[in-house]
Amino acid sequence: MAYRITDDCIACGACAAGCPVDAISEGDGKYVIDAETCIDCGACAGDCPVDAPVAE
């Protein structure tokens, strides 16, 4: 299981700064999570101003 960032992302970068395993990078118009690296900690969901990271 991993987190995924929805299209609600406004590319603020807050989640990438807080990810303990550096799984989040800037993509095309939004940030993206590398599912192989994500350890499912949920920090990104807590840091995001628009609730774009979702567990799946």
Q: What angle do CA 51, 53, 36 make, to 5 degrees?
A: 170
Specify the length of the chain in residues: 56
Residue 30: both structure tokens together: 């939004």
List the one residue from 4, 25, 40, 54 that touches ligand SF4 (CB under 6 A).
Answer: 40
> Pattern 6-35, binding to ligand SF4, x per CB under 6 A?
---xxxxxxx---xxx-xx-----xx-x--
Which letter, b or e, does each residue of 10-20 get, where b requires 16 or more Cβ atoms within 10 Å of its Cβ?
eeeebbbeebe
The distance of closest approach from Cβ of residue 17 to ligand SF4 in the complex, given in angstroms and rounded to an integer, is 9
Binding positions for ligand SF4, rule: CB under 6 A: 3, 5, 9-15, 19-21, 23-24, 30-31, 33, 38-44, 47-48, 50, 52-53
